[in-house]
Structure 1
């Protein structure tokens, strides 16, 4: 193992490894790191976007993916679950077809939006200004 490298140089050891990357917008990507630069921009190959809804997930093939460094929240080496025990947390997830997970994701987003609208309405009724108003609230 090489010595400690400061900043983005520490990612050099991760080149050619399969990584899991969580972005600021909540998306999860899994791909092979092929290149990085001084701004921690990433070039991922054979990338999939993994969508989680409750205990189900689905994967969308994305191919080559360029990720702007400032949008990365979390980055780590990805290892497929090879633990044979049934109590491994990843074993509790069920892979479903992409159409099914996209429909579940849309339903989840709709529920979240409705919950936010109710919260905002309650705050307005109390004379308080919600911190993040949904534009769709007044439309």
Structure 2
């Protein structure tokens, strides 16, 4: 097997089931059908998998085009061991509700951190400032 430089190495992954993590944190699972010189991907039979704790839910997305610059991680899924996961699959509604609760808890924690920093006379990092303080 010869080494292919850059995005050309993705040619070996065509028609394989891949997991793709995007810059915005989303996780996609689908079959790689096409790539180009910019590492743009076309995935078929794609699902978006949402993880919250030990639970996960899958949202069917169909054919999905991903800009190469948005890919953080890409890897082949081991089909033989795919079903041997320690996670519990739940419905889409359940996982979306759990995700909303998790995000709400993170926001509350961030608000508490910012409040504690302000009480000590420190300015929170600009990324951490919520609309409430602006």
After TM superposition, the score normalised by the length of structure 1 is: 0.88
5+ unaligned residues in a row in structure 1: which ranges?
Answer: none
Deviation sequence 1:39-89 (CA, Å, 0-9, x none): 1111101000000000000000000111111111110001245388xxx6x
Matches of 1:64 and 1:73, distance apart in 2? 19
Residue-pair matches, total: 133
1:70-89 matches, cutoff 5 A:
70-80=69-79, 82=81
SS in 1 for 2:3: coil
Match of 1:134 in 2: 129
* Structure 1 SS opposite 2:2: coil
CA RMSD between the two structures: 1.7
Cα shift readout 1:94-132 (whole Å, capped 9, x = no counterpart):
000111010000000000111111111111222222221
1:106 equivalent to 2:88? Answer no
- Structure 1 moving runs of 4+ over 3 Å: 80-84
Write the mapping of 1:31-110 to structure 2, written as runs, cut at 5 A.
31-80=30-79, 82=81, 90=85, 92-110=86-104
SS at match of 2:128: coil
